[in-house]
Amino acid sequence: MSLKTALVFPGQGSQRAGMLDNIPELDALDRLVDAAEALSDLELRTIVRLGGAEDLADTRVAQPLLYLADWAWGTILLESGVRPFALAGHSLGELAALALADVYSVEAGLELVVERSKLMATTAAATPGGMSAVLGMPSDDIRTAIGGIPNVWVANDNSTGQVVISGTHAALELAAEALAEAGARKIVPLAVAGPFHSPLMAPAAEAFAELLLGADFADARIPILQNTDPAPETDAGAIRTRLISQITQPVRWTETMAALAAEGPLTLIEAGPGSVLTGLAKRIDGVTPAAVESSDLEELVEGVLNGG
């Protein structure tokens, strides 16, 4: 049986210095970085080459750069003949997936991403908080352990062994204590700028919803599995509705991977910087994950085109 192929796109946290440098030449990328600089009023080209981890963690920097890196790698794979049966993106990565599925143009998506990054940065500054990864505890047990603590929520259900919680700093401290007592193997604070994918981001979500309602969306030419609903979708209206609630709702990545794996033997290609999503998929039966940055691109494409 030949393997099906799905493309997945990483989100904030996968950014790193130099992440645009090893992307094979793509004529549009340089022009799009110029556009991102103009829209954001930031020297993104300099930051991505020379910036430190703190510079790159700035939401206004990370989101447009990741969007362009994800889109560029996805474009290269599609132009090489890879024909995925579905696309999915983790948080910010979902917006790159939508551009590659022609729900909107890459330029229109870039405008949305830059505005999203500004709104999320502003809301995070007004409501300080963060996120922590909880290792070695199922999501249902985590919800039970933190259920009595206000202002903390499950934000990313990434895999059976990794769940991310989000909330105010004080709530995260209390949650860490409760989770340790309940048997969590490890709780790791993440280097993010705010309590993303939680109700605390409601001001950003409400403003972004207005932008999405005014944007032109087309039916997806490749089915999309979205963070708020991992069922494959192509209808423009349904995709828009799902995206509207994404900023405040959890990333249902475990369910997304289960839905993809249910399609049968699968090659899962992480199209973007790093290998975070590849790592999360390594223990899923029937899934062969590969990250573009750590693979020989020609061999990877040849393997996909020859049926895995």
Is 91 part of the annotated catalytic residue set?
yes
Is 169 part of the annotated catalytic residue set?
no
Q: Which pLDDT tens digit goes with each residue over 32-85?
A: 999 999 999 999 999 999 999 999 999 999 999 999 999 999 999 999 999 999
Q: How many CB atoms within 10 Å of residue 262?
A: 9
b/e code 46-76 from CB counts within 10 Å (16+ = b): ebbeebeeebbbbbbbbbbbbbbbbbbbbbb
pLDDT over threshold 70, residue 308: no
Residue 178 has what pLDDT?
98
The CATH code of domain 4-126+199-305 reads 3.40.366.10
Supply 155's token pair.
Answer: 């934000």
The CATH code of domain 130-189 reads 3.30.70.250
pLDDT over threshold 70, residue 282: yes
Q: Which pLDDT tens digit goes with each residue over 96-131?
A: 999 999 999 999 999 999 999 999 999 999 999 999
Q: Residue 287's closest CA among 3, 2, 30, 1?
A: 3
- Active-site residue (options: 14, 40, 91, 166): 91
pTM to 2 decimals?
0.96
Q: Which residues belong to CATH 3.40.366.10 in the chain?
A: 4-126+199-305
pLDDT tier at 283, thresholds 50, 70, 90: confident
Q: Which residues belong to CATH 3.30.70.250 in the chain?
A: 130-189
3-class secondary structure, 291: strand
- Active-site residue (options: 40, 166, 197, 275): 197
Supply 25's token pair.
Answer: 């030449």
For the segment 4-21, the average pLDDT, to the nearest whole number, is: 95
Q: Which pLDDT tens digit goes with each residue over 180-195?
A: 999 999 999 987 889 9
Q: Which pLDDT tens digit goes with each residue over 223-250?
A: 999 999 999 999 999 999 999 999 999 9
pLDDT tier at 2, thresholds 50, 70, 90: low
**Which residues partner with 266 through β-bridges?**
4, 287
